[in-house]
Structure 1
Amino acid sequence: MTAHQQDRAGDRAKRRGGARARGRLPDGAGDRTGDRAARGAAVRTARNTCRPRRPRRIRLVLVVLAGLTGAAALAGCGDPEVFVGGKPRSPEATITVVPHNGARGVRADGRFEVRVPAGRLERVTVSRTGAAGRRPVAGRITPDAMTWRPAPGRLQLGARYTVDAVALDGAGHRFARHSTFTTAAPVHRLVGHFSPQGDATVGTGLIFSMVFNRPVADRAAVERAVRVSARPGVPVAAHWFGRRRLDFRPRERWRPGTEITVQLRLRGVKAAPGAYGTQRRTVRYRVGRDQVSFIDAARHTMTVRRDGRVVAVLPVTAGDDENPTYNGRMVILERHSRTRMDGDTVGFGGEYDIPDVPHAMRLTRSGTFLHGNYWAPPEVFGGVNTSHGCIGLKDIRGGGPNTPAGWFFAQSIVGDTVVVDNSPERVVAPDNGLGGWNMPWELWRSGSALR
């Protein structure tokens, strides 16, 4: 080998050695690589070291772009629908619906609300869904915009409800929440029967009386759901007769012209285990003139007073000695131009059965009527008591408009008061018809379940 060839070979060896030197990791590099692996950083394998490095200028461009992307993300922080700085709260944590989503058997009169712990509610839509479609449920958001509640008594039994709410939390994030629940279907339904049904002119002696179709265990809850008010205003008190009947009256008879309003809010009210009310309605009455008829059973007369003035004195026949008429104050419950009276229905067997009693007005539930009588001789009226306990007025078969019975029938309305005196019988019981006027006011008030 010539000297020139030796020099060239030496240069090649130096270059190979320099290349090998450049391929070696610096001292301690292996330790740093292990540290990165322990920290979860990516570690290149041996084959990756053979890839050519990217030019420095490309790295610089990528860093600049990354910086611009971060700046763009930060610039969007004012948008309420963009969440920055960690995982946002769930809609369930931001908007609370009571009862919870999917709840079944919910009490219709129980707690129902939509609320946020911070921020504000933007809108809440609640609907009752079913075969008839969607029906909105009225409600309102509180002034602080943090709670929505339905209007009182708006939920029905055995119904499915959907809730859709939108709110902003305290950080300005907007959330939407959808929830559903189903109210309980009652095993038994509580229904209160009363008469008249409303929009009627009544006498000053009317007592609003409800008779329920089943016993009421929670009388306070039921009484609280029935409100009787008057205009001009007077105190009105409730009185329970047992567990099926609830009556309302003022201290004295109503004043003529009074407007009586009865609000029934029984729907969803739990009256007994498994028994819930179903009624929600408002009933109104107008009190007409003040007519009171005074019957003297010993004198066989009836004096009719209207607004304090005597308008008629009529001859009558009351109950005989074996079946005397009740004493005390009674109220006309119903009126019939003609009706059948069968002794079997009131414990008199077959003593009588008259299919066409004219001008009949019921005074008690036990069977006392004030009615026309066409079968007794004329001298009976005003002369002797011959009935089975009713009060009879002279009439003709079919009922004549100009007879004493016809005249009185035309002048009378449901709610008029009839007072009987001087009969050998006891005073009518307060729960027999609308006999509550025979009970002292303080005793009447003591019969409320809310005292």
Structure 2
Amino acid sequence: MHRTRPAAALAALSISACLLAGCSTRPGDESDRRKASPAASGAAATPHIRLNAADGQKHVSVRRGGRVTVEAGRITNVSLATANGRAVRGAVSSDGRTWAPDAVLDHGTAHRLTVVAAGADGRKVTKKIAFTTVAKTDRFTGTFTPDNGSTVGVGMPVSFTFDKAITEKKAVESAIEVSSSSGQPVVGHWFGARRLDFRPQQYWRANSTITVRIRLDGIKGAEGAYGEQDKTVRFTVGRSQVSTVDAATHRMTVVRDGKTLKTIAITAGAENSPTWNGQMVISEKLISTRMNGATVGFAGEYDIPDVPHAMRLSTSGTFIHGNYWGADSVFGRTNISHGCVGLNDARGGGDPTQDGAWFYNNSLLGDVVVVRNSDDRTIAPDNGLNGWNMPWDQWKAGSAR
């Protein structure tokens, strides 16, 4: 690896580059270079310098802004410095075609970049630009679920939440690619200006691998909001498990890979606080938690410690969880909850023989729980990870692509 050198050393490097560099042309490639046929005429192609910023550009990526690529030639000199004269160290690749800073550039800093490249015949090309990197206050970030390397249920969407309102939705959505090893087409849908979910038309196919390519670095999301994330995330879809709660019969049927695994007696929402209907996705698992009605609009009605095996189904506070305070006789016979689905269980979750423990231990984040025959409306698609309740045509209409 060669590093940027003082002028005296660069002269020797320039001579070496002229002796060693080769040149080539590709049929039909006319982008910013001269067409040449060395075999026929002995002419060499003019070096073409590619930069990741334009002269005078602002909000330039701190990761890509100082990088240099040369085609039909080799780099002989690179000078990158801040406006106050502080040099930015970097290295030339072994083939002399690329140069990159040793570290990411400083945010909100003016830079000057000069690049000299030479062709096989010694002809030199120089390019100079000045640019300013994006300020820390002008960045946006997307947090997302599920996590890289996780194994999830078939209902788990890919969900992004941005820390700033996005106005350039097409640019942001186009910079995120979600694909499945099953070949299922995947479409994004915007819920407002800060949330973007991706899913296929039907649940993910069991045992497939989902790849999420995030290429937001340098993407303008809004005025004063530029992305910096550049990563690839992969997660696995496990077995297919969909559990159907019938609020009228007070039973839940757990179906795994098309076969009934277990039927469990439950208690759903009472008459004055029914459970949402619809397809709900498990988004959080808590072995034990405290549930206070004040957090979900039932102030003073309950405050229960050590609620076992709680699994979140909605942002608004719907859970499927163990219940130790109800009499055994309520399960399978009546609905007594404030909107959750309750399973017979022991306080704190210490008894593995209870129905709540069994369901918790046999559930993944992303598993689907379907509620039917409750005296409430269908849950909103953006209340939790529950976009499956939106018709496919409506889902596609919410894409910005």
TM-score bucket of the superposed structures, by smaller chain: 0.7 to 0.9
> Conserved in 2, the CA contact under 8 Å of 1:264 and 1:281?
yes
Shift in Å at residue 207 of structure 1? 0.8
State yes or no: 1:402 paired with 2:353: yes
Moved more, 171-180 or 276-285: 171-180
Equivalent positions of 1:83-98 (< 5 A) are none
SS where residue 320 of structure 2 aligns? strand
> Conserved in 1, the CA contact under 8 Å of 2:78 and 2:113?
yes
State yes or no: 1:372 paired with 2:325: no
Match of 2:61 in 1: 108
Equivalent positions of 1:11-410 (< 5 A) are 99=53, 103=56, 105-108=58-61, 120-123=72-75, 134=89, 158=108, 163=113, 165-168=115-118, 172-174=122-124, 181-399=131-349, 400-410=351-361
Residue of structure 2 aligned with 1:432, choices 383, 386, 390: 383
State yes or no: 1:412 paired with 2:363: yes
Structure 1 unpaired stretches of 5+: 1-79, 82-92
The 1:315/1:180 distance shift into structure 2, 3 A limit, reads same
CA distance in 2, matches of 1:403, 1:259: 33
CA distance in 2, matches of 1:394, 1:448: 42
Structure 2 unpaired stretches of 5+: 1-17, 20-45
State yes or no: 1:442 paired with 2:393: yes
SS where residue 332 of structure 2 aligns? coil
- Deviations along 1:323-345, whole A, 9 cap, x unmatched? 10011100100101011111111
Amino acid at match of 1:335: K
Higher relative contact order (CA 8 A, sep 6+): 2
CA distance in 2, matches of 1:321, 1:128: 70
CA distance in 1, matches of 2:324, 2:393: 43
> Conserved in 2, the CA contact under 8 Å of 1:126 and 1:136?
no
- Deviations along 1:354-380, whole A, 9 cap, x unmatched? 121100000000100000000011101
Amino acid at match of 1:435: N
Shift in Å at residue 132 of structure 1? 12
Shift in Å at residue 277 of structure 1? 1.8
SS where residue 348 of structure 2 aligns? coil
Amino acid at match of 1:123: I
Query: Percent identity among equivalent residues?
Result: 47
> Conserved in 1, the CA contact under 8 Å of 2:91 and 2:99?
no
> Conserved in 2, the CA contact under 8 Å of 1:266 and 1:277?
yes
The 1:291/1:140 distance shift into structure 2, 3 A limit, reads farther
TM-score under structure 1 normalisation? 0.69
Amino acid at match of 1:424: D
Shift in Å at residue 194 of structure 1? 2.1
Give the CA RMSD over aligned residues.
Answer: 3.6
Q: Which has the higher helix share?
A: 1
The 1:159/1:338 distance shift into structure 2, 3 A limit, reads farther
Shift in Å at residue 178 of structure 1? 6.7
Shift in Å at residue 204 of structure 1? 0.6
CA distance in 2, matches of 1:231, 1:220: 25
TM-score under structure 2 normalisation? 0.77
Shift in Å at residue 169 of structure 1? 6.5
Amino acid at match of 2:371: V
Amino acid at match of 1:107: V
CA distance in 2, matches of 1:125, 1:423: 72
CA distance in 2, matches of 1:281, 1:127: 29
